[in-house]
Structure 1
């Protein structure tokens, strides 16, 4: 009888995977540096210093919970102001709310629901794009 020779188990092909990932990394690094850069003689527009203002058709909700319609502070309750704003919109009525980030969330939700209930086809919240 012969003695059984020990069988060697095959290892996992991790070295091959590491090589493939490494080659992909090198490829993308080189491809990114080869990509054409903008023309150095062109100076791009900087919009950081521009003064921004609300679109004229937007209902502005301030940090204190007040409303501003067409740049004028609404003296009555926010609910009455939202309904008055809705009456100024043409058909189809799309209400645009420009909300201060410190405005009470409960007020924003109740005004949006009130506008939808009063006949607004859509309620759109306006905001700013994040700086990257």
Structure 2
């Protein structure tokens, strides 16, 4: 007596498993490769410039936000002009305590912010001990 080997019936879903695996691997790759950054404390529309400017990388640089209403945000805290010098001096002291080299402070100003708020930010940064100030702006496309 000769027994026949029984074959499992063909399931069309079996062809989808490799596709699902590839899509899952791509998802994992893009999640790992993507850059995750913290959001700003409030929305800032950067000032625009028409001249070609040297690209300044703000990675690793401390950013001070100046809002349209004159508020400031630094290290996730929002405050007014009276507390500006205190917050910047605290950041300089903390960097000195850790023995870190201090980079220039990046100032991201809303286009509608009063000019005095941006000037106060640069002056406070200089008095606090930052080695320089970089104003972050947005280039106008030609």
- TM-score normalised by length of structure 1: 0.49
Greater relative CO (CA pairs within 8 A, separation 6+):
2
Larger % of helix: which?
Answer: 2
